[in-house]
Amino acid sequence: MFSAQTYTDRRQRLKKEVGQGLILLLGNDEVGMNYRDNTLRFRQDSTFLYFFGLDKPGLIAIIDTETDTEIIFGSEPTLDDIVWSGPQPALAELAARVGVAQVNSPNSVSQLLKTARDSGRTVHYLPPYRQANVCKLHEWTGVSLGQIKEKASEVLIRAVVGQRSVKSDEEILQLEQAVNITGEMHLAAMQNTREGMYEYEVVGHIQGAALSRGGDLAYPIIFSTNGQTLHNHFHGNVMESGCLTLGDFGAESAMHYAGDITRTFPVDKKFTSKQREIYDIVLEMEMQSIAALAPGVLYRDVHVAANRIMLDGLKQLGIVSGDVDEMTQLGVGGLFMPHGLGHSIGLDVHDMEDLGENYVGYRDGLERSTQLGLRSLRLAKELQAGNTLTVEPGIYFIPELIDKLRAEGQFTDFVNYQKLADYRDFGGVRIEDNCLVNNDGGRVLGTPIPKTINEIETVRSL
């Protein structure tokens, strides 16, 4: 946990920016996996963590922007709780750790909010993503279940996004910690992959590397020889010689900051020449994109420039032909990279996605494209010093997508569909790092993780 002052300062700023009414922030509850008491791993809501720091289920907070009152609501531990789960501090003691003086029972939330609403005061809340919180908000605000999300407070969303988008030095240290654990996870994958093993055998090493360093998973592990499936969570293939493995996984630090790194390496100790050719293009896309990071740079432009590098490289391999600028403009690259170049990262792996992707990555006057690839870009707007983001270009050969576009006659002037037949079993390559935008440009967070072909082959040969 950060110091009480950090949380107090964050709330002061939030109060000032929201300006009027009550701010209601909901923590998360335990969720039963297959029955109530057999719970999924508890994960606190990230905005609650950001302003109140307490990593415990069943908490709610209200900030009165006009009277300067802050209250945390939660249940006091019962003797039964202590018998089954061990001694726990009283709520007032927890609240004091984050600079909050007032606590109350969750049963009093309803009346407090009713009194506020009856006197015409606004209750600001964020869009909920868990059904339990949808129901609580419905009960407390009187808004119908179907309208709960759309009635979330835009003023509050914008204030939270503005604050959480620029990371403080202490947050950057946390992100570096997450990336460093993530680096160990990737090393574990590179060191333990052998021809003939099941993917899940390596997944065990990857998850173990996070847990044994005090971390956990920031999102479900992607580790597959079918890397052309962008989010492939199936781990049951036998890894065969001649295949690439794509691993996209990351640790969450003890304070829940996320790492999100991707590496691609061969099941064999060395890349084939065909794998090298594609890998080199993706590496160039990644390095050039990182070099382009700076305050004021439109991240959409970096995405488009990466596409240009890709099309230029694929042209040299005879996979596409024609004018690269024209292809870039038409979005031919979407066939090979149907996702965006990156996204914000912080307490969430896709930071603040629960608040609405466009609030985080777009702005008025910068609309989302409808083009394949570009439409999936989560972060498009101008970068700011203190932003943390992923840079994650890729090239994939997705048979179903290739067949569909070919059947529709799309990009036939540019794409050599006959040549693409040679790549149907290739899979995919993605390379991803986590970066900080600073006043000098940008830098990769954490200790370097093997990335060049030489570095990867060295680890694979040990």
In whole angstroms, how close is the CB of 261 to ligand GLY at the nearest point? 9
Q: Which residues bind Mn ion (CB under 5 A)?
A: 260, 390
176 binds, among Mn ion, ligand GLY, none (CB under 5 to 8 A by kind): none
Please identify, using beta-carbon distances, which residue of 310 and 391 lies nearer to ligand GLY: 391
Please identify, using beta-carbon distances, which residue of 91 and 395 lies nearer to ligand GLY: 395
Cβ-based neighbour number of residue 425 at 10 Å:
11
Cβ-based neighbour number of residue 173 at 10 Å:
15
434 binds, among Mn ion, ligand GLY, none (CB under 5 to 8 A by kind): none
Are the CB atoms for 252 and 178 separated by under 8 Å?
yes
Cβ-based neighbour number of residue 158 at 10 Å:
15
2 binds, among Mn ion, ligand GLY, none (CB under 5 to 8 A by kind): none
46 binds, among ligand GLY, Mn ion, none (CB under 5 to 8 A by kind): none
User: Taking CB under 6 A as the rule, does residue 2 contact ligand GLY?
Assistant: no
User: Taking CB under 6 A as the rule, does residue 260 contact ligand GLY?
Assistant: yes
Q: Which two tokens stand for residue 42?
A: 């508890």
In whole angstroms, how close is the CB of 220 to Mn ion at the nearest point? 13
User: Taking CB under 6 A as the rule, does residue 219 contact ligand GLY?
Assistant: yes
219 binds, among Mn ion, ligand GLY, none (CB under 5 to 8 A by kind): ligand GLY
Please identify, using beta-carbon distances, which residue of 53 and 340 lies nearer to ligand GLY: 340
Q: Which of residues 336-355 bind ligand GLY (CB under 6 A)?
A: 349
Please identify, using beta-carbon distances, which residue of 74 and 227 lies nearer to ligand GLY: 227
174 binds, among Mn ion, ligand GLY, none (CB under 5 to 8 A by kind): none
Please identify, using beta-carbon distances, which residue of 248 and 268 lies nearer to Mn ion: 248
In whole angstroms, how close is the CB of 434 to ligand GLY at the nearest point? 10
Between CA 188 and CA 193, with CA 192 as vertex, the angle to 5 degrees is 120
CB-side neighbour CA atoms (13 Å) of 266: 22
Are the CB atoms for 11 and 70 separated by under 8 Å?
yes
Q: Report, in angstroms and rounded to the nearest whole number, the Rg of the chain calculated over CA atoms.
A: 24
Q: Which of residues 419-438 bind ligand GLY (CB under 6 A)?
A: none
Please identify, using beta-carbon distances, which residue of 2 and 219 lies nearer to ligand GLY: 219
Q: What are phi and psi of 63, to 5 degrees?
A: -115, 125
Please identify the residue of the shown chain whose CB is closest to the bound ligand GLY: 260
In whole angstroms, how close is the CB of 353 to Mn ion at the nearest point? 11
Q: Which two tokens stand for residue 152?
A: 């979330």
Burial degree of 367 (CB within 10 A; 0-12, 13-18, 19+):
exposed
Non-local CB neighbours of 371 within 8 Å, separated by 6+ positions: 331, 334
Alpha helices in 145-293 (DSSP H): 154-165, 169-192, 199-211, 273-292
In whole angstroms, how close is the CB of 186 to ligand GLY at the nearest point? 13
In whole angstroms, how close is the CB of 105 to ligand GLY at the nearest point? 39
Distance CA 19, CA 13 (A): 10
Are the CB atoms for 344 and 324 separated by under 8 Å?
no
Distance CA 96, CA 72 (A): 10
Binding site for ligand GLY (CB under 6 A): 219, 248, 260, 349
